[in-house]
Amino acid sequence: MTNEQEISLNADGTWKKVSAELTSKATENIKGKLMLTVEGAGTNDKLFLDMVSVVPHDSYGYGNKNYAYGVGIRQDLLDLMMDLNPKFMRFPGGCIVEGFNWEGLYDWRDSIGPLEERKSATNRWENWNNKNRTWGYMQSYGFGYHELLCLCEDYGMEPFPILSAGVLCQYETKNVEAKTGEELKRFIDMATQLLDYCWGDASNNEWAAKRAENGHPEPFNLNYLGIGNENLQAKYFDNFDVIKDAVETYVKTNYPDHSLNIISSAGPTSTGNDLEYAYDRLAQTMPGQTLVDEHYYESESFMYNQSDRYDYYQRTNQGGSNVFVGEYAIRGNNKYNTALAEACYITGLERNADVVTNISYAPLLYKVGSLSWDHDLIYFDEFNTAKSTNYYVQKMFSNNYGTELIGTELQSEEKDYGNYGSPILGTSSASGSIDKITVYDKNGKILLEDDFNDNSNGWAQFGSQESGNSFTISNGRLTFTGTNGINAIYLPKAVQEKWTDYRIEVTGAVKTDGSGGVVIGAGYERQYYWYHLGKDGAGVCMEVTRPERGKTDLTTKVLGNNYANKHYKIEGLTTIQANDPMEITFNFGVNGKLEANFTSRSLGSLQTSKYDFSSELNQYQTDIYQVVNKDKDYVYIKMVNPDRKRKSIQLKKWLPQSHWL
């Protein structure tokens, strides 16, 4: 079943591009071989081959100069990707942007022009966990920036190109020296020349002329530009600041009618110092000016228990930044369980679409036999494609998405999912005292006023009493003794009566000794929130304590992404001082909010406002994960049951102001 074509070559010492059409005689999918033989060569003749490419004629873009000068891409893979109804495409993707050495980092300028002239580079993923690369499996750049921009144009996607920040992959080369000073010009040029390539006039701009030569005379749409992938800490952000300023100045000078959204990196993890540093620095230096690219590969339990992760992120009107979850997935072989957990998590992403503006699953494609990561969305070999279970989840969500969120609440005959409970007062790793508490209901009526002359209200120890801590109430003061862990009190009657929607005002809260500080909050023994002032002797944060899904032990986590002065310009960190009386307000559900703030005798609101906390107080439960949104035609109701048992659901009725129960 061979097919042969003869190609004539002159032995004149110059490179020549030659092509031929081969028609397969096979009637079924079988692997074949491309064989090259030489006839008529002289004894001293040599044949050099620079690039060989075999492309089927049914490829998308075949014969269209915009697609690698007519080579195109596999139609079956493209169909699967476009069935996901993508609104943007992030490219070239992942750590390949950074490279593991300076020679191998991705430079988009090497990926355009005639296919045979594109400069190959080492492949970041060749035995990626083996530092002794051999440069054996190369990147040909056969599908480069021009093709990606055209693909976005053809399918109405926003292009999200990610460029190097002059820092290599910090995950793998943690101590690498970043390029600085004059050496950053290469990376500034990489960005500004991409703008020229996309926006410039082909008649008078060098890079725009290259665009036209490559098949696209008219400008490309480009509204986003990423600087750095999974880069982190000061080494990255020092470079980011320089490149961002240079790019924005270039836009103002050369393209004043264009706007550009800059994407910044937040590192490769969902928690920890790198993520915290990114948000701390951005909040202090350029709040709301970038789209923050978060990457994380987590467990099933993370997806179940962190579905409210972004409920508590600072919005742009609070000094925060919008979020791009650029890479996320459950680490492990894609299967029913991982797809289910990811579906639960996506309900939380959709619910917070006002701050999480873009999400993209990763990795997208897996060539069978060339495994680097084992949770890819689409599998393929030379002939076939297969969708993972997780692919179907992505498709269901992406093809059924509204433009307006509808508030929802789940009610159960078996459990109370409401936010209710008692005010909680206490200290953490500290001794201290409180002079007065006043609690107001949602209408401003006083529910409780206690100046602590006695314990007629019935305050009781909160949590374990084995630490040796204790409290006393007398002579107008609530006093906490002992500095070993949490020492707090609550009102049993408030839990029994299920108090909801109230505001706490605390007067004269004082830390007297110890490494910690004061806690003020609300809830009941199995789920409570508190404002933690002086955690680890440092700043202020909001925490929630509750059991994770399927467990009974309580877990405490910090809510939100406000890390003011914790990592950047730490000299501005506001510590909780001993014997400095504080006034603290804690809102537990009034107007649907979870809020807290404080001032002290030595610190006014101008100094403490950076620690203010404000978010929606959403319902938390792990029985049915759900989100509802709508557009002008449909209401989209998405519910995920993570359990094996069937559950009966009744949708009740519309309420005013587009709220759904």
pLDDT tier at 344 (50, 70, 90 boundaries)?
A: very high
- Residue 205 CA to residue 111 CA, distance in Å, equals 19
* Mean model confidence pLDDT for the chain: 92
Tens digits of residue pLDDT in 561-596: 999 999 999 999 998 999 999 999 999 999 999 999
Radius of gyration over every alpha carbon of the chain, rounded to an integer in angstroms: 30
Q: Is the pLDDT of residue 138 over 90?
A: no
- Residue 8 CA to residue 40 CA, distance in Å, equals 10
Q: Is the pLDDT of residue 657 over 50?
A: no
In the prediction, which pLDDT does 470 show?
Answer: 92
In the prediction, which pLDDT does 465 show?
Answer: 65
In the prediction, which pLDDT does 103 show?
Answer: 84
- Residue 453 CA to residue 368 CA, distance in Å, equals 74
In the prediction, which pLDDT does 660 show?
Answer: 38
- Residue 476 CA to residue 458 CA, distance in Å, equals 15
The contacts of residue 165 (CB under 8 Å, 6+ apart) are: 178, 187, 227, 228, 231, 236, 239, 240, 243, 265
pLDDT tier at 309 (50, 70, 90 boundaries)?
A: very high
Strand order in the sheet with 385-387: 365-367, 378-380, 385-387
- Identify which of 12, 13, 56, 14 has the alpha carbon closest to the alpha carbon of residue 34: 56
Q: What is the mean pLDDT of residues 16-37?
A: 83
Calculate the CA 602 to chain-centre distance: 38
Q: Is the pLDDT of residue 28 over 90?
A: no
Least confident of 39-43, 65-69, 437-441: 39-43
Pair 410, 621: CB distance under 8 Å: yes
In the prediction, which pLDDT does 463 show?
Answer: 76
- Residue 511 CA to residue 433 CA, distance in Å, equals 7
In the prediction, which pLDDT does 29 show?
Answer: 79
Tens digits of residue pLDDT in 12-21: 888 888 888 8
Q: What is the mean pLDDT of residues 542-560?
A: 95
- Identify which of 160, 148, 162, 167 has the alpha carbon closest to the alpha carbon of residue 99: 167
Q: Quick one: tokens of 505?
A: 């005002």
CA end-to-end span of the chain: 66
In the prediction, which pLDDT does 581 show?
Answer: 97
Q: Is the pLDDT of residue 127 over 70?
A: no
Q: What is the mean pLDDT of residues 154-169?
A: 97
Calculate the CA 491 to chain-centre distance: 39
What percentage of the chain has pLDDT greater than the value 70? 95
Residue with tokens 């230096």: 285
pLDDT tier at 464 (50, 70, 90 boundaries)?
A: low
Pair 164, 190: CB distance under 8 Å: yes
Higher pLDDT, 659 or 579: 579
Q: Quick one: tokens of 397?
A: 């969500």
In the prediction, which pLDDT does 538 show?
Answer: 72
Q: What is the mean pLDDT of residues 162-179?
A: 88
449 residue type, one letter: E
The contacts of residue 489 (CB under 8 Å, 6+ apart) are: 424, 425, 426, 459, 460, 461, 462, 471, 478
**142 CB-contact burial (10 Å; exposed 0-12 / middle 13-18 / buried 19+):** middle
Q: Is the pLDDT of residue 656 over 70?
A: no
pLDDT tier at 10 (50, 70, 90 boundaries)?
A: confident
In the prediction, which pLDDT does 124 show?
Answer: 72
In the prediction, which pLDDT does 537 show?
Answer: 67
Q: What is the mean pLDDT of residues 336-353?
A: 97
Provide the angle, in degrees to the nearest 10, between the axes of the packed helices 336-351 and 389-398: 20
Residue 283 burial (CB count, 10 A): 22
Ranges of each domain in the chain: 422-539+574-616
- Residue 529 CA to residue 522 CA, distance in Å, equals 6
Residue 131 burial (CB count, 10 A): 9
What percentage of the chain has pLDDT greater than the value 90? 75
Q: Which residues are bridge partners to 625 per DSSP?
A: 640
Least confident of 173-187, 260-274, 429-443, 590-604: 173-187
> If you count them, how many residues does the chain have?
661
Q: Is the pLDDT of residue 658 over 50?
A: no
Q: What is the mean pLDDT of residues 131-138?
A: 59
pLDDT tier at 413 (50, 70, 90 boundaries)?
A: confident
Q: Is the pLDDT of residue 245 over 50?
A: yes
pLDDT tier at 44 (50, 70, 90 boundaries)?
A: confident
Pair 385, 378: CB distance under 8 Å: yes
Q: Is the pLDDT of residue 131 over 70?
A: no
Tens digits of residue pLDDT in 513-523: 999 999 999 99
- Identify which of 234, 217, 236, 235 has the alpha carbon closest to the alpha carbon of residue 226: 236
In the prediction, which pLDDT does 240 show?
Answer: 98
Higher pLDDT, 253 or 661: 253
Q: Is the pLDDT of residue 81 over 50?
A: yes
Q: Is the pLDDT of residue 173 over 90?
A: no
Q: Is the pLDDT of residue 364 over 60?
A: yes
Q: Is the pLDDT of residue 136 over 60?
A: no
pLDDT tier at 370 (50, 70, 90 boundaries)?
A: confident
- Residue 418 CA to residue 390 CA, distance in Å, equals 32
Q: Quick one: tokens of 601?
A: 């005798």
Tens digits of residue pLDDT in 640-652: 999 999 999 888 8
